[in-house]
Amino acid sequence: MDINRRRLFGGALAAGAAGLAVTSLGACATDSATAPATAAPGAALRGGSGANTSLGPVKKIEAGVLSVAYAEFGPVTGPPVILLHGWPYDAYSFADVGPLLAAAGYRVLVPFLRGYGETAFLSAQTVRNGQQSAIARDIVDFMDALRIDKAVLGGFDWGARTVDVIAALWPQRVKAMVAVSGYLITRLAAQQQPLPPEAELEWWYQYYFATERGRLGYTRNRHDFNKLIWRRASPAWDFDDATYGRSAAAFDNPDHVDIVISNYRWRLSLAPGEPHYDAYEQLLATGPAISVPAITISSDFDGAAKDGRGYRDKFTGKYEHRVFDGIGHNVPQEAPKPFAQAIIDADRL
C-alpha cells in the first residue's frame, strides 16, 4: 500500500472506444444516499461484488524479463484495457470488473505483477527489484509482447502508481487512465520527510519490512499478515475466507517476498534501485504532470485526502475525480460496477 497520503480509520487504516458503441453500466449506483438506512457503509456501491469466482484460464506470455501470467476477458478485437493490482492483492481484484467491461465490448487484460501468481522471471540472475519504474517497464513490455500500441489503464495501490508512472513516462501508450488514490508517483527525497506520529503508526509494516526480522516474519506468516492488511484497509468489506484464499495463492510465488521487501525498502531509500532505471527515476523525481485523460477515485481509505485537491494540478488533461464513500482500499473488488463505469467514462473523455 501507499505512504503518500492516508488517514486513520480510528485506529485502523482509514494507500468508450472510438468506433465502438459501449453501453453505460446503468445498474451502477453511485449515490450512497439511495442505500437503505440500515445498510452497511457503501452498500449502494457494492452491487455485483463477488459475482465471479474465476478468472478463467490464466495465460502466459514472455515480455521483457518476465513470463507474465494474465487473465483475459472479452473479444480479442475489442479496445484494450489493462488493469493492475497492488499489494497485498492480485488479479482477482478484477474478477468482477473484467466481465463487466467485456460485456461492453472491451478486451480486458489483467496481469499478475512480478512476484505474484505464476508470473516468473526468465533468468535466475535478474535482480528481484520492486522499484516503481521496474514494474512500469514490465507493463510496457507486456503491451509490446501483445502488440498493443495504446490502452486504457486502470489500477489501485501499486497498480495505480504503475498507471501513473506509465502515463508520465510513456503517455503515447495510454489512451486514458483510472487511478485509485490519484497521483502516487514516488519521489524518494519527499519520502524522507516524516509524517505526524499518528500517521506514522499506520505505516508500521513498512518499518517492519525494513528489518530482517520483518523479512523473516513476512516469509513465515504472509498468509495471515496479508489477511490482516485486507481487514485494516477495507474494514467495511465483509469478504469471506474463500475470496481471500483465491488471492492468497498468488503470494506463494517464490519471488514474492523479495519483490515486496525491495519495493518498500526502495521507497524509504534503504535499498538501491537498478542503474538502468535511473533515467526514469530522475524524471519521476521531478513530480511530472500527467497529460492523458484521467479519472481518479478516492475511498474512505484516503480519509481527509479523498477530495483529491492535493493532486489535482498533477493532471493537466481532461479529468474527473470521484469519491466512493464507504468503500475501502480494494476499490475494484469492493465496488466493481462503479470502477468499471469509471474505465468506460475515462475512455470517453
Q: pLDDT tens for residues 47-70? A: 999 999 999 999 999 999 999 999
pLDDT for the residue 198 = 87
pLDDT for the residue 27 = 38
Task: Output the CA torsion sign for 199, 202, 204, 209.
Answer: negative
Task: Assess whether pLDDT exceeds 70 at residue 7.
Answer: no
Task: Assess whether pLDDT exceeds 80 at residue 18.
Answer: no
Rounded to an integer, what distance in angstroms lies between the CA atom of residue 51 and that of residue 25? 15
Rounded to an integer, what distance in angstroms lies between the CA atom of residue 310 and that of residue 82? 26
Per residue in 193-208, pLDDT tens? 998 998 899 889 999 9
pLDDT for the residue 39 = 65
Identify whether the C-beta of residue 348 lies closer than 8 Å to the C-beta of residue 109.
Answer: no
pLDDT for the residue 202 = 86
Per residue in 301-310, pLDDT tens? 998 899 999 9
pLDDT for the residue 342 = 98
Question: What pTM did the predictor assign?
Answer: 0.91
**Where would I find the beta strands (DSSP E) of the chain?**
59-63, 66-73, 80-84, 107-111, 120-121, 151-155, 174-180, 294-299, 319-324
Can you list the alpha helix ranges (DSSP code H) found in 91-250? Answer: 97-103, 132-145, 158-169, 188-191, 197-202, 204-209, 212-233, 241-248
Partners of 70 in the beta sheet? Answer: 59, 111
Q: How many other β-carbons are positioned within 10 Å of the β-carbon of residue 19?
A: 6
Task: Assess whether pLDDT exceeds 60 at residue 14.
Answer: no
What is the share, in percent, of the chain residues with pLDDT greater than 90? 85
Class of residue 271 by CB neighbours under 10 A (exposed 0-12, middle 13-18, buried 19+): middle
- Which pLDDT band, with edges at 50, 70 and 90, does 300 fall under? very high
Task: Assess whether pLDDT exceeds 60 at residue 141.
Answer: yes
More confident residue, 271 or 3: 271
Rounded to an integer, what distance in angstroms lies between the CA atom of residue 323 and that of residue 307? 7
- Which pLDDT band, with edges at 50, 70 and 90, does 38 fall under? low
Q: How far is CA 234 from CA 30, 31, 105, in A?
A: 18, 19, 30
Identify whether the C-beta of residue 164 lies closer than 8 Å to the C-beta of residue 185.
Answer: yes
CB-based contacts of 276, cutoff 8 Å, min separation 6: none
Q: Angle formed by the axes of helices 212-233 and 256-267, to 10°?
A: 90
Per residue in 171-224, pLDDT tens? 999 999 999 999 999 999 999 999 899 889 988 999 999 999 999 999 999 999
- Of 57, 39, 294, 92, which Cα lies nearest the Cα of 177? 294
Rounded to an integer, what distance in angstroms lies between the CA atom of residue 310 and that of residue 185? 13
CB-based contacts of 5, cutoff 8 Å, min separation 6: 181, 302, 305, 310
**Prior bond to 88 cis, omega within 30?**
yes
SS3 150: coil
- Which pLDDT band, with edges at 50, 70 and 90, does 20 fall under? very low
- Of 13, 46, 14, 9, which Cα lies nearest the Cα of 27? 46
Partners of 180 in the beta sheet? Answer: 297
Task: Output the CA torsion sign for 241, 247, 251, 254.
Answer: positive
Task: Assess whether pLDDT exceeds 80 at residue 32.
Answer: no
pLDDT for the residue 246 = 98
